[in-house]
Amino acid sequence: MTKGGTLKIAVASGKGGTGKTFVSTNLFHTLEKKGYRVTITDCDAEAPNVMGFFNPEKDWQEEVTHQVPVIDTEKCVFCGKCYEYCEYQAIFYLPEMKIIKVMEDLCQGCGACTYACEYGAITEKAVSLGLVSGYKSAEKTRFIEARTNIGVMSPVSLIKKAISKIDPETEIAIFDAPPGTSCPFIQTAVRADFVLLVTEPTPFGLSDLRQSIETLKQLKKPCGVIVNRAGLGDKEVYSYLSQEAIPLMLEIPFSREIAAGYTSGQIVCKTMPALEDQLYSVFLKITQEYGNSNYQR
Amino acid sequence: METAIISGKGGTGKSSISAAFAILSENVVLADCDVDAANLHILFNPKIEDEKVYVAGKTAVIDYDLCTDCGLCMNYCRFDAIHGINGKIVIEEVSCDGCRLCERVCPVEAITMEENNSSRMYSGSFRGGKMVFGRLAPGEENSGKLVNMVRAKAKEMAKENKIQQIIIDGPPGIGCAVISAISGVDRVIIVTEPSLSGMHDLKRAVEIALKFNLNPWVIINKYDLNIDVTDEIEKYCHHAGLRFAGKLRFDPVMVDAMVNCKSIPEWAPYSDLSKDLKAIWEAIESKSS
């Protein structure tokens, strides 16, 4: 990152439910309390849960749309070129019966059919993919949420929009990343300076962590790992991390107290100051390597 | 009978529960459709009998010997995947959706499409029957298509081996992969947990199931971690007219089973957790026929 710009940290996990949102919301709370100008962006647009922990006040919202074709059957000569150009099988075409239809759910809005049509039979209309909303609480803290409409195939354009809306004045931007290692995760990770991966010490956790780390290596993104629910499961994750020379940033022990607090929508840091100190140390470790000294308070 | 198990929120115990149901059904085709993070093969160590290449999509590649830097492709690209950097046209691989429009508009035919072919689908036998799983190579897309391929293979194996039961371990979220995992199945089970996030995601998962005309079953896992939210979820299911299948307590035996590469009924057959799982599965089975 550049000096004085926004330091962008993505909190991610290959496997779902490892405590990613637990870490992102508590890290946000910790940094807010230290007086940073901080924005948290919920990029888990299929299952956005960050706002529920803060109940901030809504500031603005923007609808994200894409352009879907509309075929004028009066002008259409049933040549089939649009059908041939569509890589998503979103055009249903039966020439002998003079039937041609757009299947909007499959359309990715690429515009190839519009380009293909030589008879001016295709126009386009905007179809909503979801909402990107901005929220605020205190003077320096901001929240952005990407939320897909039910039935929308890909959250990628919502994620891009949400991240583009981060105020340049923001010192620290935290991204709550979508799970998995496919397009939604990648579109979030490529926009971050550092990826903080949250895992649990179980065979499933490790298998998914490997997948995430391999993906981040391809993207050449620096990352570190938080082992959540330490004490459950086995020790394999630690040997994997040392073998791959990936920094272990923090271990959070399994406790029913943390689980119970989180399940009722609380910011656990508020009642466990030790966790706050630990998350702050994680943040300082990240800034020392990827930020600049301005970030220390 | 094709049963999909989904969760909306990740980490609710969907895969452990799918594994348990697979073992309880005795003869099953298990389709691991969480293709971003397939895990059931870790528990069941299947004997792989077939491997297939899955083409995850295409990515545009520019031949710079032909490219005249006219920028036409950049103007047409709607995925913001083509940029002019220092007078040179560059394709950002991670943003390319493979729609081929740039290839079609290029006046000098400088763009070709390369197949992303490092993803795989594996199938074979395991101690509970047959198993299929997809493995999306890191960073590859179109997981919905791979889910379709896994399901087609599962159906084929069920037919060949005269197996009645197909269990699909679905992906998290409610996007393309989930839509592919539930469209056309006979029943959907949603596994949730008693947290505000779990409940929020449950509602979104229910909406997607209803959109596909499926009346989902709901299981609350780790219900005793928050009795109040559990009550709220039960009430919600009741009001929404959903079929409540039952609840499972939090028990580290679930993790122990995983560490020992066993499903819960295999690892701890006499535990309360196994008994509850059996009761839930029998209830679902008896009411779906």
Residue B172: list chain A partners with CB under 8 A.
Answer: 16-17, 46-47, 179-180
Predicted local distance difference test score (pLDDT) of residue A154: 86
Verify that B182 and B70 share a domain, yes or no.
no
Q: Residue A157: closest CA among chain B residues belongs to which residue? A: B79
Note which residues in 25-44 of chain A have CB less than 8 A from chain B: none
Verify that B137 and B239 share a domain, yes or no.
yes
Verify that B91 and B135 share a domain, yes or no.
no
- Per DSSP, the three-state class of B90 is strand
Nearest to A202 among B105, B204, B255 (CB): B255
Q: What is the CATH number of the domain that holds B96?
A: 3.30.70.20
Note which residues in 204-263 of chain A have CB less than 8 A from chain B: 204, 207-208, 211-212, 214-215, 218-219, 232-234, 256, 259-260, 262-263
Predicted local distance difference test score (pLDDT) of residue A291: 64
Distance CA A82, CA A137 (A): 49
Distance between A204 CA and the closest CA of chain B, angstroms = 6
With a CB cutoff of 8 Å and minimum separation 6, the contacts of A272 are A257, A258, A261
Q: Does residue A143 contact residue A56 with C-beta atoms inside 8 Å?
A: yes
Helix H or strand E encompassing A8: strand A7-12
| Domain encompassing residue B214 | 2-55+119-288
Residue B178: list chain A partners with CB under 8 A.
Answer: 46
Distance between B161 CA and the closest CA of chain A, angstroms = 29
Predicted local distance difference test score (pLDDT) of residue A295: 59
Distance CA B263, CA B131 (A): 14
Verify that B201 and B225 share a domain, yes or no.
yes
Verify that B88 and B127 share a domain, yes or no.
no
Distance CA B203, CA A250 (A): 33
Token pair recorded at residue B37: 């993070």
Verify that B155 and B253 share a domain, yes or no.
yes
Q: Check CB contact under 8 Å for A179 and B10.
A: yes
Q: Which residues of chain B have pLDDT under 70?
A: 142, 289
Q: Does residue B95 contact residue B55 with C-beta atoms inside 8 Å?
A: no
Token pair recorded at residue A202: 């179980």
Predicted local distance difference test score (pLDDT) of residue A164: 96
Predicted local distance difference test score (pLDDT) of residue A136: 92
ipTM of this complex: 0.88
Q: Does residue A31 contact residue A172 with C-beta atoms inside 8 Å?
A: yes
Q: Check CB contact under 8 Å for B99 and A148.
A: no
Distance CA A129, CA A191 (A): 21
Distance between B174 CA and the closest CA of chain A, angstroms = 6
Q: Residue A265: closest CA among chain B residues belongs to which residue? A: B196
Q: Does residue B73 contact residue B100 with C-beta atoms inside 8 Å?
A: no
Phi, psi of A263, deg, nearest 5: -65, -30
Which among A194, A24, A41, A153 has a CA at the least distance from the CA of B183? A153
Nearest to B197 among A49, A66, A211 (CB): A49
* DSSP state for residue A153 in the 8-state scheme: S
Predicted local distance difference test score (pLDDT) of residue B175: 86
User: Cα-Cα-Cα-Cα dihedral of B271, B272, B275, B281, to 10°?
Assistant: -120
Could you count the other beta carbons within 10 Å of the beta carbon of residue B241? 7
Count CA atoms within 13 Å of residue B94 on its CB side.
20
Predicted local distance difference test score (pLDDT) of residue B43: 95
Helix H or strand E encompassing A63: strand A57-71
Could you count the other beta carbons within 10 Å of the beta carbon of residue B271? 18
Distance between B217 CA and the closest CA of chain A, angstroms = 19
Nearest to B258 among A179, A182, A203 (CB): A203
Query: Domain total for chain B?
Result: 2
Tally C-beta pairs within 8 A across A and B.
Answer: 189
A144 pairs with which residues across the strands?
Answer: A41, A134
Q: Does residue B33 contact residue B72 with C-beta atoms inside 8 Å?
A: no
Predicted local distance difference test score (pLDDT) of residue B98: 93
Residue B198: list chain A partners with CB under 8 A.
Answer: 263
Distance between A228 CA and the closest CA of chain B, angstroms = 12
Distance between A293 CA and the closest CA of chain B, angstroms = 31
Predicted local distance difference test score (pLDDT) of residue B287: 85
CATH architecture of the domain with residue range A65-128: 2-Layer Sandwich (3.30)
Q: Check CB contact under 8 Å for B79 and A148.
A: no
Verify that B136 and B231 share a domain, yes or no.
yes
Q: Which tens digits make up the pLDDT trace of B157-187? A: 999 999 999 999 999 888 888 999 999 999 9
Residue A191: list chain B partners with CB under 8 A.
Answer: none
- Domain parsing of chain A, residue ranges: 7-54+137-295, 65-128
Verify that B38 and B62 share a domain, yes or no.
no
Predicted local distance difference test score (pLDDT) of residue A296: 57
Count CA atoms within 13 Å of residue B264 on its CB side.
25
Residue B32: list chain A partners with CB under 8 A.
Answer: none
Residue A203: list chain B partners with CB under 8 A.
Answer: 39, 42-43, 258-259, 261
What pLDDT tens digit does each residue of chain A (297 aa) get? Answer: 444 589 999 999 988 889 999 999 999 999 999 999 999 999 999 989 999 999 899 999 999 999 999 999 999 999 999 999 999 999 999 999 999 999 998 899 999 999 999 999 999 999 999 999 999 988 889 999 999 998 888 899 999 999 999 999 999 999 999 988 888 999 999 999 999 999 999 999 999 999 999 999 999 999 999 999 999 989 999 999 999 999 999 999 998 888 888 888 889 999 999 999 999 999 999 998 776 555 555
* DSSP state for residue B162 in the 8-state scheme: T
Distance between A36 CA and the closest CA of chain B, angstroms = 26
Q: Does residue B39 contact residue B134 with C-beta atoms inside 8 Å?
A: no
pTM (two decimals)? 0.90
Q: Check CB contact under 8 Å for B97 and A155.
A: no
Predicted local distance difference test score (pLDDT) of residue A293: 52
Q: Does residue A178 contact residue A145 with C-beta atoms inside 8 Å?
A: no
User: Cα-Cα-Cα-Cα dihedral of A212, A214, A215, A218, to 10°?
Assistant: 160
Q: Does residue A123 contact residue A72 with C-beta atoms inside 8 Å?
A: yes
Distance CA A15, CA B269 (A): 27
Distance CA B196, CA B232 (A): 10
Q: Check CB contact under 8 Å for B78 and A187.
A: no
Nearest to B37 among A67, A85, A211 (CB): A211
Residue B195: list chain A partners with CB under 8 A.
Answer: 262-265
Residue B79: list chain A partners with CB under 8 A.
Answer: 110
Verify that B182 and B67 share a domain, yes or no.
no
Verify that B251 and B149 share a domain, yes or no.
yes
Verify that B249 and B219 share a domain, yes or no.
yes
Q: Does residue B54 contact residue B146 with C-beta atoms inside 8 Å?
A: yes
Domain covering A7-54+137-295, topology: Rossmann fold (3.40.50)
Among candidate residues B115, B133, B149, the one where a domain is terminated = B115
- Radius of gyration for chain B, computed over Cα atoms and rounded to the nearest angstrom: 22
CB burial of A41-78 (b: ≥16 within 10 Å; e: otherwise) equals: bbbbbbbbbbbbbbebeeeeeeebebbbbebeeeebeb
Verify that B111 and B137 share a domain, yes or no.
no
Residue with tokens 């952005």: A144
Does residue A126 belong to the interface with chain B, where contact is any CB pair within 8 Å? Answer: no
Does residue A55 belong to the interface with chain B, where contact is any CB pair within 8 Å? Answer: no
Distance CA B152, CA A196 (A): 37
Distance CA B193, CA B215 (A): 19
Residue with tokens 């490997």: A210
Q: What is the CATH number of the domain that holds B220?
A: 3.40.50.300
